Chain A
Amino acid sequence: MQFSILLAVLVAFAGLGFLWGRARAAAVASASGRRLHSRARHHGMLVAAWTGGPGIVVLLLWAVVQARLGGAGEGMSAAAAWAGIAVPLAVAIVGLTWGVRRITPQLRARNQFETVLRNLLLLASAVAVVTTAGIVLSLLLESIRFFSLVPLHEFLFGLHWSPQIAIREDQVASSGAFGAVPVFAGTLLISLIAMLVAAPVGLLSAIWMSEYAAPNVRATVKPILEILAGVPTVVYGFFAATTLAPALRDLGSFFGLGVSSESALAAGVVMGVMIIPFVSSLSDDVFRAVPDSMRYGSMALGATKAETVQRVVLPAALPGVMGGLMLAISRAIGETMIVVMAAGLAANLTANPFAAVTTVTVQIVTLLTGDQEFDSAKTLAAFGLGLVLFFVTLALNVLALEVVRRYREAYE
């Protein structure tokens, strides 16, 4: 609360600085009888920047330090609390007076303010880099702690995953409970099922939209298909858990198959529906990028439309299509809510789509919701899984973008 009030006060100070700077510049100009280099307005903005900028930076730093040291702040002395208020205000006041005092007709206030603005823009664009660095660093640091408890090879190649046991028996890693292979296998199984749904449906839709459909039909169908990607994943999860999974289970028992109510099939099929638009929209763009001259050439030789698509357009577009499929796979691997709601918790190493399997994302969620102790291997394991997830999806994306880019260059 104190933070937001101080922030408001500093913003108000900056506003004051603008008004004062502008008035001062006008006064200086008429007193000296010379023309200002910059408009009075620019002088005002520069003073406002000098007032608000340093004050807000100090305030933010102070808030971070305070949160790091004191938690809620009970342990802090009154002096420190007062310093937290006084220091940012003092910095702002110093900035204000200094900014006002340096106003002269010759001051290139506009240029200086524009430099400030430009640096702010640069700073904003650096946020993306900082975010990536933050992700990599936080995942790496926690994972290193995890791998000091559980050896890396055991995590990557171990066949037994039951993180809960390790906590209860208080003997981390001795039982080999952190072998993530079943978790990876479950993720792959569900992603495979999803791709078996999404790839044919998405590709055939894309072919129909780009090669057969009238332009106005395509213009309506494409956005409607893209709604599928815009539906919140929690809705898919709800659908999978309450509608599809029980239906599949009943269907299975009708045929005498033992279908788990948390079967990989239900989660995979629903996930497949979700990623149809990733395949169809990307492939559609790729097909349309294939030059028409190739189609005309094929048709002039007497090929039917289907033959043209299968033997000319599809091979030409293959790299781009592969790129789209890779993006879809990376989407499937990283998808969380559908599997959290519809897939199982137990890590079974199986290729049976009717059995319950678990995935990387499900395990991250189960390990990190509820009580956390940050030194236990159980909690840290989530970061190990997160690291794998991040790098696998990153590799798939980089590869996919590269493939698509190469392919584009081939036709441009």
Chain B
Amino acid sequence: MSGAPRSTHQQVRAGLKRRHAAERRFRAMGIGAVLLALLALAGLFASVITQGYGAFVQTRITLNLYLDPEVLDPSGMRDPEELRRANTNAVIRESLRQRFPDITGRSDLRKLYALVSTGATFELADHLVTHPDWIGRTIDIDLLAAAEIDMLHKGRISRDVPEDQRRVSDQQIAWVDALAAEGRVAFAFNTTFFTSGDSRDPESAGILGAVVGSALLLLVTLVLAFPIGAAAAVYLEEFAPKNRWTNLIEVNINNLAAVPSIVFGLLGLAVYLNFLGLPRSAPLVGGMVLALMTLPTIIIAARASLAGVPPSIRQAALGVGASPIQTVFHHVFPLALPGILTGTIIGMSRALGESAPLLMIGMVAFVVDVPTGFTDPATALPIQVYLWSDAPERAFVERTAAATVVLLGFLIAMNGLAVFLRKRFEVRW
């Protein structure tokens, strides 16, 4: 030691300040890390919600339409089939021309017509079918605005940007402002988003097709994965002898749980599509792939739940003469069921958010129709998010985020249900 001899006490004392500072630093780093992670989570949700909430409302333009019987129903029969095909476009264009009579140039007119979505013609046709008595009258009807006008009205297209850098011309802005001054441009709840399938036009695109596709997928997944998973767990936990075969199965299940999901997609492509010849893009095949993927999750959760049932239950049942199968199916399994269901719901919520394996089996197609069966071409909610996120239109960004909000909503609901089940039926032995 150097210089004057110091007692241990003095040495420790001298270093205490520094060491306590280090302690505080270390602790602050820990809190900082947790806060950083929480901040990332909050940022993710905030970003998605701020980008997406706008898509739940949609700009609509109220036009004063003369529903000319000559144009809409030349036969005068008011036949729904014919009304559905009526030339509503002409009526809408005529109304726009009437409102802005000083516009004559061809290209100017085209810009004027572009204020209203092409989807508006179908809306009007639907109105005619439900209200055939409107024909011949002049009536105010609100129609779907084009996506660009919607973006403008929501302030997502800035008016300060030079005209050649935005998708709405100064002229169009002037027309919209004129209509808005009369109170003819307004927001309404975006029902289209929830009631229609995909579309090339952002304003007509909806998530119903994707939601139905996801529901069909999950149904197939549930029907396959729950019974197989529960049965496998029952076997492994209650009946399996401790031998190499059982050991192999256990190692297998643990490893399958960590296999990248895209590999399951490759399996589906090679086996289901190429070997078994099942149809591409079908919820049936998607569900079969997702079932294999969620199986390990369900088995692991179910085994934990079965293992939690105390041995005294089994001994009591066996003691009064039940066979091993009866013991399990009459007593142990029902008691473990809440835990198994919780695990299943968590597995299902993972399947709902999964998209990579579905890309492999062709569920990335542009599907307009809402699927009606297990072999119809379909997409799923996360796939819809993926597809829309690729689209260049500004309005699709908003819809992508909105679809994400819906997806997150479903996931929160499912996980909430799982937590509720656990809390409600959890038995402490």
**Which residue of A131, A201, A230 is within 8 Å of B37 (Cβ)?**
A201
Chain A positions within 8 Å of B266 at CB level: 135, 138-139, 364, 368, 382-383, 386
Q: Are A114 and B323 in contact (CB under 8 A)?
A: yes
Q: State which residues 255-280 of A face B: CB under 8 Å.
A: 273, 276, 280
With known contacts A124-B227, A397-B258, A238–B401 Cβ distance under 8 A = yes
With known contacts A71-B277, A231-B44, A238–B263 Cβ distance under 8 A = no
> CA–CA, A224 to B236, complex, Å?
32
Chain A positions within 8 Å of B31 at CB level: 208, 212
A393 at the interface (CB under 8 A from B): yes
Which residue of B has the minimal Cβ distance to A225? B37
Chain B positions within 8 Å of A227 at CB level: 41
Which residue of B has the minimal Cβ distance to A302? B12
A172 at the interface (CB under 8 A from B): no
Q: How far is the CB of B237 from chain A (nearest CB, A)?
A: 10
Q: Are B40 and A127 in contact (CB under 8 A)?
A: no
A126 at the interface (CB under 8 A from B): yes
Task: Count contacts on A: residues with CB < 8 A to the other chain.
Answer: 91
Chain A positions within 8 Å of B353 at CB level: 230-235
Which residue of B has the minimal Cβ distance to A131? B292
**Which residue of A121, A126, A131, A398 is within 8 Å of B239 (Cβ)?**
A121
One of B76-84, B89-97, B104-112, B356-364 contacting the partner: B356-364
With known contacts A200-B33, A383-B266, A337–B386 Cβ distance under 8 A = yes
B235 at the interface (CB under 8 A from A): yes
Q: Are B274 and A233 in contact (CB under 8 A)?
A: no
B138 at the interface (CB under 8 A from A): no
B254 at the interface (CB under 8 A from A): yes
A330 at the interface (CB under 8 A from B): yes
Q: Are B356 and A365 in contact (CB under 8 A)?
A: yes
B334 at the interface (CB under 8 A from A): no
**Which residue of B25, B262, B354 is within 8 Å of A364 (Cβ)?**
B262
A96 at the interface (CB under 8 A from B): no
> CA–CA, A221 to B407, complex, Å?
23
Q: State which residues 217-273 of B face A: CB under 8 Å.
A: 227-229, 231-232, 234-236, 239-240, 248-249, 252-256, 258-264, 266-267, 269-271
Chain A positions within 8 Å of B34 at CB level: 204-205, 208-209, 221, 225
Q: Are B252 and A204 in contact (CB under 8 A)?
A: no
Q: How far is the CB of A59 from chain B (nearest CB, A)?
A: 14
B209 at the interface (CB under 8 A from A): no
Q: Are A390 and B252 in contact (CB under 8 A)?
A: no
**Which residue of A110, A122, A243, A389 is within 8 Å of B47 (Cβ)?**
A243
A5 at the interface (CB under 8 A from B): no
One of B15-23, B64-72, B148-156, B164-172 contacting the partner: B15-23
Q: Are B260 and A389 in contact (CB under 8 A)?
A: yes
Q: State which residues 1-32 of B face A: CB under 8 Å.
A: 12, 19-20, 22-23, 25-27, 29-32
Q: How far is the CB of B335 from chain A (nearest CB, A)?
A: 18
A300 at the interface (CB under 8 A from B): no
Q: State which residues 346-382 of A face B: CB under 8 Å.
A: 361, 364-365, 368-369, 374, 382
A294 at the interface (CB under 8 A from B): no
> CA–CA, A231 to B41, complex, Å?
9
Which residue of A has the minimal Cβ distance to B236? A125
Interface residues on B, range: 35 or more
Q: How far is the CB of B421 from chain A (nearest CB, A)?
A: 15
Chain A positions within 8 Å of B51 at CB level: 242-243
> CA–CA, A230 to B383, complex, Å?
17
Q: Are A235 and B389 in contact (CB under 8 A)?
A: no
**Which residue of B260, B267, B277 is within 8 Å of A393 (Cβ)?**
B260
Q: Are B33 and A204 in contact (CB under 8 A)?
A: yes
> CA–CA, A333 to B255, complex, Å?
15
Q: How far is the CB of A38 from chain B (nearest CB, A)?
A: 10
**Which residue of B29, B37, B354, B397 is within 8 Å of A232 (Cβ)?**
B354
Task: Report the number of A-B residue pairs with Cβ-Cβ less than 8 Å.
Answer: 267
Chain A positions within 8 Å of B44 at CB level: 231, 235-236, 239, 273
Chain A positions within 8 Å of B19 at CB level: 304, 307
> CA–CA, A101 to B137, complex, Å?
77
With known contacts A135-B267, A273-B40, A341–B386 Cβ distance under 8 A = yes
Q: Are A230 and B299 in contact (CB under 8 A)?
A: no
Chain B positions within 8 Å of A214 at CB level: none
Q: How far is the CB of B281 from chain A (nearest CB, A)?
A: 11
Q: How far is the CB of B98 from chain A (nearest CB, A)?
A: 41
Q: Are A232 and B258 in contact (CB under 8 A)?
A: no
B415 at the interface (CB under 8 A from A): yes
Chain B positions within 8 Å of A390 at CB level: 259-260, 263
Q: How far is the CB of A351 from chain B (nearest CB, A)?
A: 24
B202 at the interface (CB under 8 A from A): no
Which residue of B has the minimal Cβ distance to A368? B360
Q: Are A230 and B411 in contact (CB under 8 A)?
A: yes
Q: How far is the CB of A368 from chain B (nearest CB, A)?
A: 6
A68 at the interface (CB under 8 A from B): yes
Q: State which residues 121-175 of A face B: CB under 8 Å.
A: 121-122, 124-129, 131-132, 134-135, 138-139, 141-142
A336 at the interface (CB under 8 A from B): yes
> CA–CA, A184 to B389, complex, Å?
26
Q: Are B259 and A393 in contact (CB under 8 A)?
A: yes
Chain A positions within 8 Å of B267 at CB level: 131, 134-135, 138-139
Q: How far is the CB of A278 from chain B (nearest CB, A)?
A: 10
Can you show 7 pairs from A to B with CB atoms below 8 A apart? A121-B239, A127-B292, A128-B252, A128-B296, A330-B260, A386-B262, A394-B258
Q: Which residues of A line the B interface, CB within 8 A?
A: 64, 67-68, 71, 110-111, 114, 117-118, 120-122, 124-129, 131-132, 134-135, 138-139, 141-142, 200-205, 207-209, 211-212, 221, 224-225, 227-228, 230-239, 241-243, 273, 276, 280, 302, 304-307, 309-310, 327, 330-331, 333-337, 340-341, 361, 364-365, 368-369, 374, 382-383, 386, 389-390, 393-394, 397-398, 401
Contacts A127-B292, A209-B34, A390-B263 aside, 11 further interface pairs with beta carbons under 8 A come to A68-B277, A71-B277, A121-B231, A128-B249, A203-B33, A221-B38, A235-B404, A276-B40, A336-B359, A365-B262, A393-B263
Q: Which residues of B line the A interface, CB within 8 A?
A: 12, 19-20, 22-23, 25-27, 29-34, 36-38, 40-41, 44, 47-48, 51, 227-229, 231-232, 234-236, 239-240, 248-249, 252-256, 258-264, 266-267, 269-271, 274-278, 292, 295-296, 299, 323-325, 349-350, 352-356, 359-360, 362, 364, 382-383, 385-386, 389, 397, 400-401, 404, 407-408, 411, 415
Closest 8 CB pairs of A and B: A334-B260, A208-B30, A232-B353, A204-B33, A138-B270, A124-B231, A67-B277, A336-B356
